[in-house]
């Protein structure tokens, strides 16, 4: 007990004092745990202006941080929902059997299926499914030709400066 530094408190408590003086100078009142704190009277109205400012600014800071955190969480959930929607459409596009214009992988899957067929002659390419694949690949070729410039850098002579 001597090592904890409790001796001054015990010595003060052991001295006989008047009732009012003992209550006013007791360590419980100094720490805010006296009769006023336990009875509920006092509280906010007994605080100084500086203490009120500290408590109110701390409360305001907690509210602002909570609002910012909540707003960030809502924004992240909206972003996640958009990503999930995009991934679902992406997965739907990866359907190998879909040859629609909106499918961004149709050229890849048509070429992949055609290569997997391993046809050796035009007679093997008579089925309607193979004809559809060839049709899609022809559309893809036309799309690529539309995107390419008329003269590519590889077509220019080496001694000409770039334009």
The pLDDT tens digits for 104-145 are 788 888 888 888 888 878 777 888 888 888 898 999 999 999
Is pLDDT larger for residue 22 or for residue 150?
150
Is pLDDT above 50 for 6? no
Do the Cβ atoms of 39 and 23 come closer than 8 Å? no
CA–centroid distance for 98 within its chain = 33
Q: Token pair of 126, please?
A: 């008579």
Neighbours of 117 (CB within 10 A): 14
- Looking at residue 160, its pLDDT comes to 66
Is pLDDT larger for residue 32 or for residue 50?
50
- Looking at residue 48, its pLDDT comes to 94
């Amino acid at each position: 007990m001597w090592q904890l530094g409790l001796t001054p408190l015990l010595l003060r408590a052991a001295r006989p004092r008047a009732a009012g003086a003992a209550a006013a100078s007791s360590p419980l009142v100094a720490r805010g745990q006296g009769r006023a704190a336990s009875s509920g009277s006092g509280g906010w109205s007994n605080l100084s202006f500086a203490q009120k400012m500290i408590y109110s600014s701390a409360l305001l800071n907690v509210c602002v941080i909570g609002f910012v955190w909540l707003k960030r969480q809502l924004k992240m959930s909206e972003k996640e929902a958009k990503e999930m929607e995009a991934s679902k459409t992406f997965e739907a596009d990866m359907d190998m059997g879909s040859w629609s214009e909106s499918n961004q992988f149709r050229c890849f899957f048509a070429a992949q299926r055609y290569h997997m067929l391993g046809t050796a002659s035009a007679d093997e390419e008579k089925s309607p499914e193979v004809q559809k694949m060839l049709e899609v690949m022809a559309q893809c070729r036309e799309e690529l030709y539309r995107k390419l410039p008329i003269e590519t850098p590889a077509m220019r002579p080496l001694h000409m400066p770039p334009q």
